[in-house]
Structure 1
Amino acid sequence: MSVFERIFHAVLFEALAIAFSVLGLMLFTDHPVSSLSGTMIAVATVAMLWNMVFNAIFDRFFPGQRETRGVAVRVLQVAAFEGGLLLITVPLMAWLLSVSLLEAFMMDIGVTLFIAVYAFVYNFCYDHIRAAIIRKRQDHGLQAHS
């Protein structure tokens, strides 16, 4: 993937993640929407940067066609990514929401569990849609030269 595509992939992922996470936290906490939105934007910004760095490294350890990755590799990818992210985001959430590290951890775990499933589905869909677009472009390119 090009740098531009990595940025597109990460921004789309995070925009959808912010919306879904704020909605979920609104249901389970007493924090105002404005605090939750600001916090999730900060967390998403950290996550987006971590996403680009982590996945560039991950792709070096697991080269080849991304759409052929099996469930075990995808589960490993999500678990390693989310574990590293928790180390950064728990203190950030505690500070931004003025809550204890334990409360921030509990909220972050809830978000993380949701994001883990969301990341699996998002990346699976993204990779397959990307592969289909590339195949379609290649097919059109071959037909144009025929």
Structure 2
Amino acid sequence: MGAIERIFHAVLFEVLAVSLSIVLMMVFTDHEVSAVSGTMIIIATIAMAWNFVFNWVFDKFFTEDKEKRSIKLRIFHVILFEIGLLVLTIPVMAYILQVSMIEAFIMDVGVTVFITIYAFIFNWVYDNVRASIIKKSINSSPSLT
């Protein structure tokens, strides 16, 4: 996966994640829409940068075809990614929403549980759709024989 596709993957992931996270934060907290939206957009920006860097490094260590990755490896991938993201985002959430680090931790863990499940499903679907598109592209290319 090249840099342009990595950017596409990260942006698609985050647009869907932010939209769904804002809805969940509005359902489960009493913060203003603008505060929640701003917070989730900033966190998404941090997450996009983290997504790019983390997945680039992860792919250097795990080089097999992505669509062939085991469930165990996918779970490891998501957990490791989310732990790193929590470290980066809890202070941001506490500052912007003017809540304690404990409250930010609880809110961020709630979002993280949702995003963890979402990330697992999103990446599995993305990898398989990507593999299918590549396979169709290869099969539809005119042969040079």
> Where does residue 99 of structure 1 map in the other structure?
99
> Where does residue 56 of structure 2 map in the other structure?
56
Q: TM-score, normalization: structure 1?
A: 0.97
Q: Percent identity?
A: 52
The Cα of 1:64 is off from its aligned counterpart by 1.6
Deviations 1:44-84 (A, max 9, x none): 00000000000001001110200000100000000000001
Return the alpha-carbon distance in structure 1 between the equivalents of residues 67 and 56 of structure 2: 16
Return the alpha-carbon distance in structure 2 between the equivalents of residues 142 and 2 of structure 1: 24
Secondary structure of the structure 2 residue equivalent to 1:31: coil
> Where does residue 16 of structure 2 map in the other structure?
16
> Where does residue 73 of structure 2 map in the other structure?
73
Return the alpha-carbon distance in structure 1 between the equivalents of residues 39 and 84 of structure 2: 18
Q: CA RMSD in A?
A: 0.9
Output aligned runs, 1:1-146, within 5 Å: 1-142=1-142, 145=144
Return the alpha-carbon distance in structure 1 between the equivalents of residues 142 and 40 of structure 2: 45
The Cα of 1:142 is off from its aligned counterpart by 3.6
Return the alpha-carbon distance in structure 1 between the equivalents of residues 99 and 142 of structure 2: 59
- Matched length: 145
The Cα of 1:126 is off from its aligned counterpart by 0.1
Note the residue ranges of structure 2 that are not aligned, 5 or more in a row: none
Note the residue ranges of structure 1 that are not aligned, 5 or more in a row: none
The Cα of 1:98 is off from its aligned counterpart by 0.5
Return the alpha-carbon distance in structure 2 between the equivalents of residues 142 and 10 of structure 1: 32
Deviations 1:8-49 (A, max 9, x none): 000000000000000001000000111100000000000000
Return the alpha-carbon distance in structure 1 between the equivalents of residues 142 and 3 of structure 2: 26
The amino acid across from 1:36 in the alignment is: V
Q: Once superposed, which parts of structure 1, at least 4 consecutive aligned residues long, lie more than 6 Å away?
A: none
Secondary structure of the structure 2 residue equivalent to 1:116: helix
